[in-house]
Structure 1
Amino acid sequence: MREKRVNSDIPFLPQEIIRNVLKRLPAKTLIRFQCVCREWRNLFRTKSFIADHLGHSNNQNPGLLFQFFDGGDPLNLYCLDSEMQVWEFPKPPLHDYLKPDKIVGSCNGLLCVQINDPHVSPHPLLVWNPSIREVRLVPAINFHQDYEDYNIGFGFSPIINDYKIVIACNSQCYTEISAVQVYSLISGSWRELQFSLNCTECLSDESVTVNGIMFWLGSKRVGKDTDDDEVQIVSFDLANEVFTSIATPKLHLWTTLTVYEEKLAIVSCMTNSELSVVDLWVMEEGVHASGEIWSWTKRYTSNPYPCWLYPQTIWRNEIVCTADIENKPTAVLFNPTTKRIKKHVIMKCDCGPDILNYAESLVPVGGMKSLQIFCMASTHS
């Protein structure tokens, strides 16, 4: 009986090396690689590999998602990748009667999308992972009364390993939060939250989540007989579902919340006579001499920039502002470390964009309730 010989010319790679190579590939490539073998298909679905791939994607290949509102297509999306290339972003694969209105949140490769339905308030929502082409329709909310003004937050809590959507509704006079509903991706259902705040609050449209805590810019009326408002930050712990109010430093008119070095940060911009100055504040946690748990440190102030700027977010540790330069929406990037400034023209459009951070991921949108949509892949390779 002849002995079988192993071909010594075929190289053998340890599983650790194979896994290290695979986690660096785009999510769409890994989806195609599922047909290579059962071992790879099972690997791509494990929590540990999904987390490793997401970590590499966030650190090495983060993108900026530009959302334009030009009066025509309500959801006009483009992505600026880590190589500073702009490409058209796919739209949610929905039926014609479902019209995506805007992206209200981005977290770990998942996008929370609001659907335009004039007959329903709040508008219906869906959670969408463009990389693996999964979309999950979120059930409608049953509020006890109609609210015309509400704010939506979308974030992830590593403590409970769950994604949540938070909707805070304001009273009819827009002076306080009257109702809060929380949706869990794990449970697949909404729950009305019994809550309390130490002061009357009205929240901004955008939220940001850092280490499982969701933050909004909020305002409270200084006194009953005045129209002056005091800016505060409202935090919501996604794990224990508790609200807290946090004082802010003295800020300029144009202000946004963002994340810098995995900490909550504020980008504030002062514009005067077509010159703009950008400040970066970072929140530090710990008990201080004043007794406060949180404190603010100003990390950066730019030199005057000859244009009106609108702060948006932080991307790859650079402050991103938008500006209308020569009638073209332009992203202006300030680097607080090197002090360098970069400009990148996105495209000509009637209106400047909203900007969100985005990274490809393999994170599923949830069990049997997810709907796999086979659609045309993005033209971006």
Structure 2
Amino acid sequence: MASGDDKFYLQFEIIFNILKRLPVKSIVRFQCVCKEWRDLFKSQSFIDEQVRHSVHEDPSLLLHAYDYNYMRPTLRLLNRKMETVDVLSVPSNDCFKDGWRIIGSCNGWVCVESWSIRLLFLWNPVLREVREIPQSKNKGISVFGFGFSSMVNNYKIVRFSDRYQDEEGIEYHIPIVEVYSLCTDSWKELEFGPLQNIKITSTNAASADGTIVWLGVGVVDYTSPVLVSFDIATEVFTLTPIPSTVSRALPTTLGVYQNKIAISGHLCGSHSMDIWVMEQVDGESGKHFSCTQAYSVDIFSYALDVCCTWKNGIVCFDKERKAGREGKPKYHLKLFNLTDKEWKEFPNISSAHDCCAGFSYGGSLVSLQPPGSIALL
């Protein structure tokens, strides 16, 4: 702190370091403080630093659940103290009316699929911006992945689906894969390549360090489980065999731990829950992964399901055997801290929920609105 003429001020570096740690809603409000702050918040250097801190250093837990008691979805952010810091408002447009799910989260944005109208949206819940993704020409049930590559500074969505083809009264299901690029705002079809004999088994993907990953299995005998990885920058698919120890874990959940792809699950018939970290390796045929078991945790219930990895822990849902009101099961949200090896229960989260998904989430100032559009702020 310096002084002169009875005025006190902090150095710019200190102010910058303080402001990047504020919640996005506070930063938006503080644009009115002065012109210098408004210009600072719009600068790319500040946006990059704010995203890095919020997303990678101090992310919240984004919990998407459906409350059967009130027949409505809930979306809330929880902090490192396991407290609800914000209940997010859902936009009133058509995509959120009759059911939706989050495909993935990246840099403060979530990719949302509408069940009723089969559209995709990118949504920044904190900035309250929504961007509609143009429809693909191919229909049918799909599996998606969403991620960002800093190498090409681009967000992409990958879609696996079937094309229906009728030849002489016989209907064929031809598997196809497409990728949407935010930079071009369009879809294109990719060569199936190494995916020709692979079936994607995970409904959700994980994304880290410019790569989107799914779980897959061979279609011939439904054995030989693999990781299916997609390099966002080069748009190349790579298959990595999964060790048999990992493949026996049921249920299996893909996530991100310390900015690396991780697989969590507990072995069938055992009282242990394990987490495997996938180390990325560059080879002649592109990126692939090596699998390392990072932790093995004793669990107390067969009804314990892995929800996601978050910070330095694993978030799980513990389902009571006795159903709650209206015959729906009651869930308790718990966190196993991998550092101190302790279980903790999230307060005020136990209720008759069909808990859909949890994501590591950092609010950001990144705007993906197309030129000329109007934000919902």
Per the alignment, residue 237 of structure 2 pairs with 243
Summarize the alignment of residues 168-187 of structure 1 with structure 2, pairs less than 5 Å apart.
168-170=160-162, 178-187=175-184
Query: In 2, Cα distance between the equivalents of 1:309 and 1:69?
Result: 18
Instruction: Work out whether 1:358 is the aligned partner of 2:357.
Output: no
Contact conserved, 1:75 with 1:91, CA < 8 A, in 2?
no
Per the alignment, residue 102 of structure 2 pairs with 103
> Percentage identity across aligned positions?
36
User: Which amino acid counterpart does residue 89 of structure 1 have in structure 2?
Assistant: V
Query: In 2, Cα distance between the equivalents of 1:115 and 1:198?
Result: 27
How far did residue 363 of structure 1 move? 0.9
Answer 1 or 2: which has greater strand percent. 2
Query: In 1, Cα distance between the equivalents of 2:224 and 2:120?
Result: 31
**Which of residues 204, 217, 220 in structure 2 aligns to 1:219?**
217
Contact conserved, 1:329 with 1:353, CA < 8 A, in 2?
no
SS of the residue 1:364 aligns to: coil
User: Which amino acid counterpart does residue 126 of structure 2 have in structure 1?
Assistant: S
How far did residue 98 of structure 1 move? 5.4
Query: In 2, Cα distance between the equivalents of 1:9 and 1:73?
Result: 59
**Which of residues 143, 147, 156 in structure 2 aligns to 1:155?**
147
Per the alignment, residue 325 of structure 2 pairs with none
Query: In 2, Cα distance between the equivalents of 1:23 and 1:357?
Result: 18
Contact conserved, 1:177 with 1:202, CA < 8 A, in 2?
no
Contact conserved, 1:186 with 1:366, CA < 8 A, in 2?
no
Q: Deviation per CA, 1:88-126, whole angstroms, max 9, x where unpaired?
A: 5323323357525111111111011112335xxxx1111
Per the alignment, residue 3 of structure 1 pairs with none
Contact conserved, 2:369 with 2:375, CA < 8 A, in 1?
no
Query: In 2, Cα distance between the equivalents of 1:179 and 1:142?
Result: 12
Query: In 1, Cα distance between the equivalents of 2:310 and 2:95?
Result: 35
Contact conserved, 1:329 with 1:348, CA < 8 A, in 2?
yes
**Which of residues 25, 38, 41 in structure 1 aligns to 2:38?**
41
Summarize the alignment of residues 1-381 of structure 1 with structure 2, pairs less than 5 Å apart.
8-70=5-67, 73=71, 75-86=73-84, 89-95=87-93, 99=97, 101-118=100-117, 123-143=118-138, 146-147=139-140, 149-170=141-162, 178-197=175-194, 199-203=196-200, 204-223=202-221, 228-250=222-244, 251=246, 252-272=249-269, 276-286=271-281, 294-325=289-320, 328-345=330-347, 346-368=349-371, 370-374=373-377
- TM-score under structure 2 length normalisation: 0.85
Change (3 A) 1:201 1:350: same
Query: Mean alpha-carbon deviation: is it higher for 333-342 or for 251-260?
Result: 333-342
Query: In 2, Cα distance between the equivalents of 1:319 and 1:109?
Result: 21
Query: Mean alpha-carbon deviation: is it higher for 106-115 or for 188-197?
Result: 188-197
Q: Deviation per CA, 1:347-366, whole angstroms, max 9, x where unpaired?
A: 31242331111111111123
How far did residue 282 of structure 1 move? 1.1
Query: In 2, Cα distance between the equivalents of 1:103 and 1:268?
Result: 21
Change (3 A) 1:304 1:28: closer
Change (3 A) 1:176 1:22: farther
**Structure 2 unpaired stretches of 5+:** 166-171, 323-328
**Structure 1 unpaired stretches of 5+:** 1-5, 375-381
Change (3 A) 1:271 1:108: same
Number of residue pairs matched by the alignment: 352
